[in-house]
Amino acid sequence: MFSASTRMTTLLNARNVVNLLKEQAQKSVLLDATWYLPTESKDGKQEFLQNRLPGAQFFGVDEAKDHRSSLPHMLPPADEFAAYVGNLGIDRNTNVVIYDRKGFFSSPRVYWTFKVFGHKNVFLFPNALTDWKTSGYGLETESPSTPAKVNYEGANMNNNLVASFEDIAQVLKDPSKSNTRIIDARPHTRFTGSAPEIRPGIASGHIPTSINIPFTDLVKPGITEPKPVEELEDIFAKHGLKDKSAPIITSCGSGVTASVLFVALELCGFTNVRVYDESWTGYGQRATQDSSLLATGP
């Protein structure tokens, strides 16, 4: 049964999803949010067309974005988000269950996007394809269904969940007077500047005062699902993150794995977390022009 207590849980498993679809099929939409790094040469949408969870729709990280920005996938304006998800059959009251083929990589970005625009009933299904199949359920292989378009009303951006360059600059203006922690989810070699960025022409290194918690430290091997909350809390505590009301900004390469950090912090009860939407792709371009913005080393 999809109970009231389940509704308070961000993470669902196959049994939860099956119960949800049995009880509220007309009010629920599964979203495949698979996205790959530019270096991976894979196409999440093409994989979706081959097979998917039954009835799922595809949410394109590079489709539902601000197309006026030169950066990879900045948040879209609220009206464009509303139009995009309305075309997927999602309205304000829909139960949205998000998964990706890696397990827990790009789906948190889409979860965060829905949260930014005020959607209440949004869930993550980690390790979805494996959990689904090992639970005895099959994948859909015929052409995906075309949903009836609906009107998504009341989408407004919650800026309390989004950080801009101006927010970063305010922290750097006088770090001694700021209690905001900036956490970088990129691999340690990119954080230190010892490895190049995956996008050409962008400086390598990190934001001064930021700390590095690679997102891979927060997930189980294979990027399948987040580690248990107790382990996550230990990781954060070792980095001095104990005050769960203190302001935190998460960053990464382009805002995708910063959202893994966002969800991990949310699972641990942190209440004042923002994702730096442009992340290093935007910041690194600025640092290429202004070396005072750049730090290297541990």
Give me the active site residues, please.
252
- Positive or negative, the CA dihedral 114, 116, 120, 125 is positive
The CA distance from 177 to 154, in Å, is 37
Please name the residues in contact with 278: beta carbons below 8 A apart, sequence gap of 6 or more.
71, 74, 164, 165, 254, 255
Instruction: Using CA atoms of 249, 277, 272, 227 in order, give the dihedral in degrees to the nearest 10.
Output: -80
* DSSP, res 139: P
The CA distance from 90 to 28, in Å, is 8
Determine contact, residues 265/272, Cβ cutoff 8 Å. no
Q: 277-288 burial, b if ≥16 CB within 10 A, otherwise e? A: bbbbbbbbbbbe
Neighbours of 7 (CB within 10 A): 12
Strand order in the sheet with 273-276: 162-163, 273-276, 248-251, 181-184, 211-212
Residues forming beta bridges with residue 181, ordered by sequence position? 248
* Secondary structure of residue 48 in the 3-state scheme: helix
The CA distance from 72 to 174, in Å, is 30
Determine contact, residues 249/167, Cβ cutoff 8 Å. yes
